[in-house]
Amino acid sequence: MTILHRRLASLLVLLFGLVWIVVSADRTGSSTAGMIPAPQAGFPAPDFELQTTAGETIKLSNLRGQAVLVNLWTTWCPPCRAEMPAIEKIYNEYKDKGLIVLAVNMTYQDTPAHIAPFIAEYGLTFRILLDDTNSVGSAYQLRSLPSSFFIDRRGIIREVVIGGPMAEALLRTRVEEILK
């Protein structure tokens, strides 16, 4: 094969690659333009829609403009129990500034009958959502309880805290960051 043939073959391969890129490009706008939801800091929070214990439907994306703490928990989890009073206290201090707390009970691995007594025991006033199909647990790649995701007003996860219990000072610092 001569040098001319090699150059022509290389040119054809490059031309084919360019044509492939143009033909396969997403022109529908349905791609995420590099903003693929991932449960980690700096990425958009994966959207979800769940029912509260009162039967209200909450969709995370409808809360844009608010700072959101998504806390994944169960009633049988000792660190979950230990951090609930601090979450309640921080929620009451910052709710008028735009803080929303979504406490997502991993109902698929909890006892639903224990949820109402848990809420009463701790005097919880924020929304308790029920994940009975593991949809949020799966989307947020739940590996440990509790897991908390601090989401800013634009829907971007700013901090992820795996395990607990979270100290009140940590909660306050993270909440003040997402309220900015």
pTM of the model: 0.79
State the 10-residue block means of pLDDT for the chain, 180 residues long: 82 75 61 58 93 94 95 96 96 96 95 95 96 93 93 95 92 94
User: Residue 83: left (phi > 0), alpha (psi -120 to 50), or beta?
Assistant: alpha
pLDDT of residue 26: 56
Q: Say which DSSP state 164 is in.
A: S
pLDDT of residue 103: 97
CB atoms within 10 A of CB 138: 12
pLDDT of residue 38: 58
Is 130 in contact with 53 (CB distance < 8 Å)? yes
- 43: nearest Cα among 178, 154, 161: 154
- Single-letter code of the amino acid located at 52: T
Tokens of 30: 């349905």
Q: Say which DSSP state 62 is in.
A: G
Residues 6+ apart with CB under 8 A from 120: none
pLDDT of residue 96: 95
Q: Where are the domains of the chain?
A: 38-179
- 146: nearest Cα among 105, 91, 89: 105
Residues 6+ apart with CB under 8 A from 56: 127
Quickly name the fold that domain 38-179 has: Glutaredoxin (3.40.30)
Residues 6+ apart with CB under 8 A from 163: 79, 144, 146, 147
